[in-house]
Chain A
């Protein structure tokens, strides 16, 4: 995630702005460095807009408070020529003179990259098995025909990305494309195409991820990432929730560095903290500030004393409810080699990759252990199920292979404090100095690519090397984190404060893989 190139815009719900301490908002600003902040506005929230203006040194957009003569205002963002049209509300679309999208090649000065309108949302009527686009008629009236306009809305969660084709005359929906980046951008002449992209909070296991980062590149909007607000400010420190944050603020501690400047003894006097928690907070704050991990207690790393290191593995599937494991990547630290088992030919064949992987693993490396990041929630879980089902002959052997989960060891079992705002592997590894391959992929994108292959059967479209490089990158990143933890200084086990889950999966990875899969 390092090396952001494009212009960033931050979308924040008013509730988040009003509830979080100003210091947290400032930390969000310092970390994400947005070119503008958009306070989502289905209703007027002047206090929230004022608060964010006070906290953050960037232009603030709050649609209900947009001024200017026209119903639609034009807002340039940053220095790269990015510009939005902002609609105070959907009814304003009718009043305006219409807007022009960037793909409109004339040099009209009202040209914009996207339209911001928080009233745009979908309404689902399960009894009719229908989802409709709110204000489709207003959009049809205001937007140019025959081409696509991007509409950003806080009325839908970040990650929402669908292209709606609406008849210009009537406002009735013709069709909806579910994979806009891959669909040919052809729009009927009598139609308005609206690429609707969400910027609202995403529900996660730990509550809503409400801090939405929109990153724009020269070729248009490329990504949205949802962060949890409690990954910023003092709340990012393990053991500090909103109540403790309030109490800390009462004694003047509102940032991580202020917390570090406060003696442990003083922290321990704050109501509800105590000496053990205070020590742990201090340690975690140190880790976050320095980027250096710490080990807590004397537990050895899984496999640390084995004669050969574990094999680092990572799997790729076709989605969060996988129907196939189509890639298994294995990095062997002892030889510094990587091996990928990939199903390139027949996506209906669930067995071959597993078979080849098991043959190799049990034949060549019968005595090695496996290492994953959060594998008990994803990789091991699905590998176990798939081996039992598709390679039953190996089921018993698979069961007996020693399996380690570095994430579980570090976070779940409280054996280490990790730097990074979240516990996602790429974030932690980057924080620990791992220089990634920057494939531009993530789990969801690689899954979507394979799904297309499954549907079309045309493997030539798929950039196999890129997808293998992505998987390999994760395996190597895992080993990098392992090595850094192996070398990390150890502090005595003084506490086992509940490791407040501070993972914030991105919009695309929101479910399944990360935290909170409690045993129901």
Chain B
């Protein structure tokens, strides 16, 4: 029957199963839930939010405010008859009418407009471009018998590409059209297979890493590119920040080559609901885009359960707390709330998964890590056994599997298929299942912790809901402040706009890199400069001159500028800005081959964090110990051996800045702002062994022996003048944070340091409001001794980095020692302040842009902090807390931050300081050279 069997017709998001519902687990048939004797209505999920509350077994009666159930209304379908929009050949074979947004998009496309469709998950977005491809195909066939009309379709992941290849081919079978859809990516066999796809396919599915590479050989693609009438960018909201910039430039390079072949295709973008679909889309493709966001697809009503786990029994408390590995424990005001005494989400969420599947609700649990996906499956099963008096039939609904990108493609496909066909009752997955892989639609979702972004939150929720039936979604709050903030402020989820996706084509570093590729693909000439060109003339000339001076380009724009550097500049474009090679995963030689984990290669960042020697990883329910890590190129590898121990391992993370060199500086009142370069070091230097049962740390601070992740990047930093610092240290000298240990706990500088730390978080947090940057690509470091992080001058006055600093400190202790040593050698009192750096090797110009616009950013940050009504001294996730903080959001002090920023911006004058300045020259408390990410 093909693609459109029920009212929900989304190719991408999930029809039920193979098309006709057979093999689907279908609770409607049962009519009655035998275990509870409940009657299930036609439009109900097997279990409601209230029923969940009633039936879930618990230790003791819970506080009423621990759980809130919100009712989200459904929406009726709004449709348009097919024949109004589509020609008879296409309208005829389709059983169902088009949703209003599908019709609107197809009408815009027939007016030659570019379109961005930003509607909910499973609203039939794929159908739109699938039909537009069919239209182009029929038009070409009508023009001449053998004319081509091709389409280039880009998905963010290879897994999604394979999934959609099947869906699209099936759809064209339904329509009776001979349109061949082929995937062409890194997994496609080289040689004849590739040539045949290039020479014959009507639709080629790939990803942007592929487009980037294939443009080098565009002449081999001449047939396909000459006939290209549509370019599709699916899940376009995923192209944000650094990745988004690269994609925007790859699209521009593609357009340049297409123009060379006289092709001028339309663009279709599909996006999850984001704040700025129009601006984002036109930034990506460099052309006006019509936004279609009036969703005409029906959804059932949804119950959203915000589930704060109950307090745990005292004797359990110490054990369970430590296993809250989804995040950091929360600092709280005076310990009254004692939220850290709650059962961790990592323990509670698997229980809910287990409970829901027991009650016949097919459930998808989203976890923040691969490790937790694996652990959750074990814990779900353990929950049944622990509560065997309640779960009298322990095997009921117990087919639960983990899913994440660490599994091989074959394994993932199997899981997807079993989920789709109802053989599985539940899956614990990372965000790998957040994007549109077709696994059918669930009855319920559970989120282990808040995913950090509203956009992501809604996307995951959208996985539950079969057509217009009721759906159930449970958010299990973790200990993190962000989670606690969300469950106590549901309005934050319901009322505020989702995030903007950010793409910045003004970034010269990324532009310049892609310019080299463009010159390699087709010589640059004057047509590349100007309004319709690759860049404006002045920028183009400056970049060409820069590369000519560097010996990478040759020639003149009048006659053509060619690339002359090392072969294939495309290969040096790192789309995710990760620079390292991938590590192969190998089984130890003496281990049984049957236990080969068959894991896909790992990115360097992941190896440094999670695959140090001695790490215990859980993979497909089996424990593996990392017995060797080989970092040597060109074939780095990780060797695993199966093991059976009662703990897992968790890595600790620290960050510091070294050898910063100021290249420019300017005064803002008495403050000094610098821009320059330096090294940012990320350490995953130690790890803890954590007991699987109980979560107790059995051993702590074991060395990982992994090298630090070192980035040469761009930074800007603000130096606070001594007078401001002295006054504010005095003003906040009584601040204390009971839970904080270490050097800082005792110091008089704590309150002031909290102010710097809070101001650092806030300036990074608001940067996207002022500049087109994504805050996830920025990092920061607040410090009481800026000077300790700077390169020191050598004896002969060279500004080179110190000789011994050229050796990277191999662990955070060495880095701290280096910082302390430099501090002790300083001949003057160091300045305090904070760094903001590009979290990307080589830098990407973000901190430069912030340097240029610092006052505007600081003003935003100041208002954000001052206007926040959280009422907490240490702020909330909406103002100064950051879920990526490496120091557990401690110390933070809002008032001190506002004072610093007011001084910077001239909002407050000298008189604000006078009151606090000591009367006499102040001997001062010894300043600890401490820093906080």
Contact = CB atoms under 8 A, between A and B. Distances in A.
Contacts of A156: 551
Nearest to A384: B219
Nearest to B190: A519
B219 A381 contact: yes
A160 B548 contact: no
A127 B838 CA distance: 12
A519 to B, nearest CB: 5
Contacts of A57: none
A520 B214 contact: yes
Interface stretch (A70-78, A198-206, A252-260, A491-499): A198-206
Nearest to B560: A323
Contact of A455 (B512, B559, B563, B844): B559
B811 interface: no
A516 B567 CA distance: 9
Interface string A446-458: 0010010011000
Contacts of B539: 129
Interface in A348-389: 381-382, 384-385, 388
Contacts of B844: 127
A455 B566 contact: no
Contact of A131 (B190, B194, B549, B564): B549
B214 A319 contact: no
A519 B742 CA distance: 57
A335 interface: no
Interface string B215-251: 0110110100000000000000000000000000000
Contacts of B551: 122, 156-157, 159-160, 162, 198
B190 A127 contact: no
A91 interface: yes
Interface string A284-326: 0000000000000000000000000000000000111111000
Contacts of B507: 127
A388 B227 CA distance: 14
Residue among A157, A178, A510 with the highest chain B CB neighbour number at 10 A: A178
A511 interface: yes
A451 B508 contact: no
Given A126-B508, A156-B551, A176-B548, A204 B213 contact: no
Nearest to A208: B566
Contacts of B59: none
A250 interface: no
Contact of B194 (A130, A157, A205, A519): A519
B640 interface: no
A321 B559 contact: no
Contact of A510 (B512, B548, B567): B567
A274 interface: no
B509 interface: yes
A385 B260 CA distance: 11
B567 A511 contact: yes
B255 interface: no
A31 interface: no
A338 to B, nearest CB: 28
A396 interface: no
B190 A319 contact: no
A176 B558 CA distance: 18
Nearest to B516: A126
B754 interface: no
B820 to A, nearest CB: 29
A128 interface: yes
A263 interface: no
A319 B848 contact: no
Interface in B515-559: 519-523, 525, 539, 542-543, 545-551, 554-556, 558-559
A382 B560 CA distance: 16
A67 interface: no
A451 B222 contact: no
Nearest to A121: B550
A91 B800 CA distance: 12
Residue among A203, A322, A323 with the highest chain B CB neighbour number at 10 A: A323
A180 interface: no
B562 A319 contact: yes
A56 B558 CA distance: 48
Nearest to B558: A455
Sort chain A's interface into a size bin. Answer: 35 or more
A433 interface: no
A388 B523 contact: no
A205 B567 contact: yes
A103 interface: no
A124 interface: yes
Nearest to A454: B559
B570 to A, nearest CB: 9
B560 A124 contact: no
A385 B843 contact: no
B825 interface: no
B779 interface: no
Contacts of B511: 126
A127 B716 CA distance: 13
Contacts of A517: 217
B300 interface: no
A124 B546 contact: yes
Contacts of B220: 519
A451 B550 contact: no
B619 to A, nearest CB: 31
B560 A130 contact: no
Contacts of B563: 320-321, 511
Contacts of A160: 551
B254 to A, nearest CB: 15
A512 interface: yes
B546 A126 contact: yes
Contact of A126 (B190, B214, B222, B512): B512
Contacts of A91: 796, 798
A498 to B, nearest CB: 16
A512 B560 contact: no
A511 B564 contact: yes
Interface in A181-222: 198, 202-205
B550 A178 contact: no
A124 B565 CA distance: 14
A204 B219 contact: no
Interface string A220-259: 0000000000000000000000000000000000000000
B919 to A, nearest CB: 47
B845 interface: yes
A454 B548 contact: no
A321 B562 contact: yes
B714 interface: yes
B584 to A, nearest CB: 19
A222 B443 CA distance: 76
B73 interface: no
Given A319-B523, A321-B521, A454-B559, A162 B549 contact: yes
A204 B566 contact: yes
Contacts of A385: 219, 222
B213 to A, nearest CB: 5
B554 A178 contact: yes
Interface in B773-798: 796, 798
Interface of B: 190-191, 194-195, 213-214, 216-217, 219-220, 222, 507-509, 511-513, 519-523, 525, 539, 542-543, 545-551, 554-556, 558-560, 562-567, 714, 796, 798, 843-845, 848
Given A127-B848, A318-B560, 14 more contacts: A127-B843, A128-B508, A203-B566, A322-B523, A323-B560, A381-B219, A382-B219, A385-B219, A448-B554, A454-B559, A455-B558, A519-B190, A520-B213, A520-B214
14 contacts: A126-B509, A126-B513, A127-B507, A156-B551, A198-B551, A318-B555, A319-B555, A323-B525, A384-B219, A385-B222, A455-B559, A511-B563, A511-B567, A520-B214
Interface of A: 91, 122, 124, 126-131, 133, 156-157, 159-160, 162, 176, 178, 198, 202-205, 318-323, 347, 381-382, 384-385, 388, 448, 451, 454-455, 510-512, 516-520
Going nearest first, the 6 A-B pairs with the smallest beta carbon separation are A203-B566, A319-B562, A454-B559, A131-B549, A126-B509, A126-B512
